Amino acid sequence: MKLDVNVLSHLSKDDFRVLTAVEMGMRNHEIVPSELIIRIAALKHGGTYKVLRNLLKHKLVHHDSSKYDGFRLTYLGYDFLAIKTLLNRGVVSAVGRQIGVGKESDIFEVANEDGTIFAMKLHRLGRTSFRAVKSKRDYLRHRNSFSWLYLSRLAAIKEFAFMKALEEHGFPVPHAVDCNRHCVVMSLVQGYPLVQVKQLQNPETIFETIIGLIVRLAEHGLIHCDFNEFNIMIDDDEVITVIDFPQMVSVSHHNAQMYFDRDVECIFKFFRKRFNLSFQEQTTESESEGSDADSDEIGWPCFSSITKVAGFLDKELAASGFTRKDQEDIEKLTEVDCKKDNLDSDDEETSDGYICDATEDSNIKQLDSMSLVDQDEQSGACDEKSNAERNQGDAEAGQSNGIMTQVASDEEEDEETKHRDEPELAKRLNRQRRRAIAAAHGGGKRFSARNSYKDKGGRSSHSSKIQKQLSIW
């Protein structure tokens, strides 16, 4: 989507108020309902729908009525909110031409009131060419739902933090000026991407400098993860500047070695193809450890041999793959290792004591096994006694059950003889038997509906009464 800054001069305070209301509503809604926008904006004289129509005309919001009537922000509307905030801060006073387009960002030239030119990077995650951010980066962490605008904001915050920290530690990176929403303002690098350079005066020196930067980043606890010819700027004096940092991870990441080797491989391939530098093939870590001379000839840095010598930027910046829990676990492990080393030294001095302990343990195990045998014999005898008692109890219970059944049958016969003399009781018994037989066959109610025998007025008719009597008989 093309950024037309001229529209910015035609927007009023009410327009930005409604845009901000839509942004606030998108914290809890993918599509913000119109009623919620009206309540959040709270315009004095009303007219929110009129403002929304104006924003729709400039494509700053998107209307969606599939489930309910609502609106959501577009990247252009998010750009205008960020640029307006930077204008109010005095960081930016003019926006110039577009100088770069990436898979997840657009870069523009901007200027402040003094005429100093900066570079403004607008993150645009969610493009068709780059939509696997959720699976490849841990911006969301424990969240399941996400918005592309929110992801772009997180990427901008991470890049700004990495850029500030690396500049403080002397890395050749652009100067970070300010950050708002998904927008990062930085100093403009006077140079060209390395991919556009066809010739170099000292390609070997530049190659060693770039590989040294990768190793130095790892020594500070960080891996770039996208260190290639597109993210390396070089000027006329062949000075190197590294850009693009939102995807950086810690050396404690579970895929840190893979990312490190990939960055190194990208540089080797580029200089081999573009500047015809000859390198020997990469060897495995075991071979490189076995022969130091071969590793010196190859010049391929080994990830396992790199140690943190200066600072812990991954811990300070909470880089991906490094958490406080990991740091606590590492400290616990180091403490346990130190204790084990001390114990091992003590064990060498007093080894006889451990032999005595082992003999005592064996004696204790033998005593336990003997006691278990005695317990098994006793339990077997108890089981035989209990089985005999159970058999006797079952026989007595069977005899008592037989006696009870005989008594019950005698009582039933007596009741039947009594009921034979009384005709009314015999009729009742016959009715109960019929009902039981009907219930057993599933014929509880013979009517099709619950209210089929009722009149409209709710009173039972004469025919319904007859049907009830027939059902009883």
3-state SS, the chain, equals CCCCHHHHHHCCHHHHHHHHHHHHHCCCCCCEEHHHHHHHHCCCCCCHHHHHHHHHHCCCEEEECCCCCEEEECHHHHHHHHHHHHHHHCCCCEEEEEEEECCCEEEEEEECCCCCEEEEEEECCCCCCCCCHHHHCCCCCCCCCCCHHHHHHHHHHHHHHHHHHHHHCCCCCCCEEEEECCEEEEECCCCEEHHHCCCCCCHHHHHHHHHHHHHHHHHCCEECCCCCHHHEEECCCCCEEECCCCCCEECCCCCHHHHHHHHHHHHHHHHHHHCCCCCCCCCCHHHHHHCHHHHHHHCCCCHHHCCCCCCCHHHHCCCECCCHHHHHHHHHHHHHHHHHHHHHHHHHHCHHHHHHHHHHHHHHHHHHHHHHHHHHHHHHHHHHHHHHHHHHHHHHHHHHHHHHHHHHHHHHHHHHHHHHHCHHHHHHHHHHHHHHHHHHCCCCCCCCCCCCCECCCCCECHHHHHHHHHHHC
Q: Are residues 116 and 204 in the same domain?
A: no
Arithmetic mean of pLDDT over the chain: 75
Q: Confirm whether 287 is domain-assigned.
A: yes
Q: Kindly state whether residues 319 and 229 are assigned to the same domain.
A: yes
Do 158 and 279 belong to one domain? Answer: no
Claim to verify: residue 144 and residue 212 sit in the same structural domain = no
Residue 158 lies in a domain: yes
Task: Categorize the per-residue pLDDT at 286 as very low, low, confident or very high, splitting at 50, 70 and 90.
Answer: very low
User: What is the domain count for the chain?
Assistant: 3
- Token pair 């962490």 is at which residue? 141
Q: For position 299, which CATH number holds?
A: 1.10.510.10
Using an 8 Å Cβ cutoff, are 108 and 96 in contact?
yes
Domain identity same for 64 and 153: no
Residue at which a domain ends, from 73, 98, 115: 73
Query: Does the residue 344 lie in any domain?
Result: no
pLDDT tens readout for residues 170-197: 999 999 999 999 999 999 999 999 999 9
Is 171 part of a structural domain of the chain?
yes
Residue pLDDT, tens place only, 85-130? 999 999 999 999 999 988 889 999 999 999 999 999 999 988 654 5
Q: What is the pLDDT of residues 241-275, one digit of tens each?
A: 999 998 899 888 889 999 999 999 999 999 999 99
Same domain, 221 and 322: yes
Q: Based on the residue annotation, tell me whether 357 is a catalytic residue of this protein.
A: no
- Residue pLDDT, tens place only, 6-47: 899 889 999 999 999 999 999 999 999 999 999 999 998 889
> Could you tell me if 168 and 98 lie in one domain?
yes
Q: Residue 47 belongs to a domain with what CATH number?
A: 1.10.10.10
pLDDT band for position 469 (cuts 50, 70, 90):
low
Regarding whether 157 and 141 lie in a shared domain, the answer is: yes
pLDDT, tens digit, 9 for 90 and up, residues 441-463: 655 444 444 444 444 444 555 55
| Domain end marker among 19, 41, 73 | 73
Q: Do 104 and 182 belong together in one domain?
A: yes
pLDDT of residue 312: 73
Kindly state the average pLDDT of the residues 138-162.
Answer: 77
On whether residue 115 sits in a domain, the answer given is yes
> Which sign does the torsion angle of CA 224, 138, 246, 103 carry?
positive
CATH number at residue 121: 3.30.200.20
337 within domain boundaries: no
Same domain? 285 vs 247? yes
176 shares its domain with 213: no
pLDDT, tens digit, for every residue of 300-336? 888 888 876 655 787 777 665 444 454 454 344 334 4
The single residue of 14, 64, 178, 226 carrying the catalytic annotation is 226
Residue type, 455: D
In a domain, 391, yes or no: no
Last residue of a domain, one of 131, 158, 188: 188
Place of tokens 């980043």: 217
Domain that includes residue 243, residue range: 192-327
Same structural domain, 204 and 273: yes
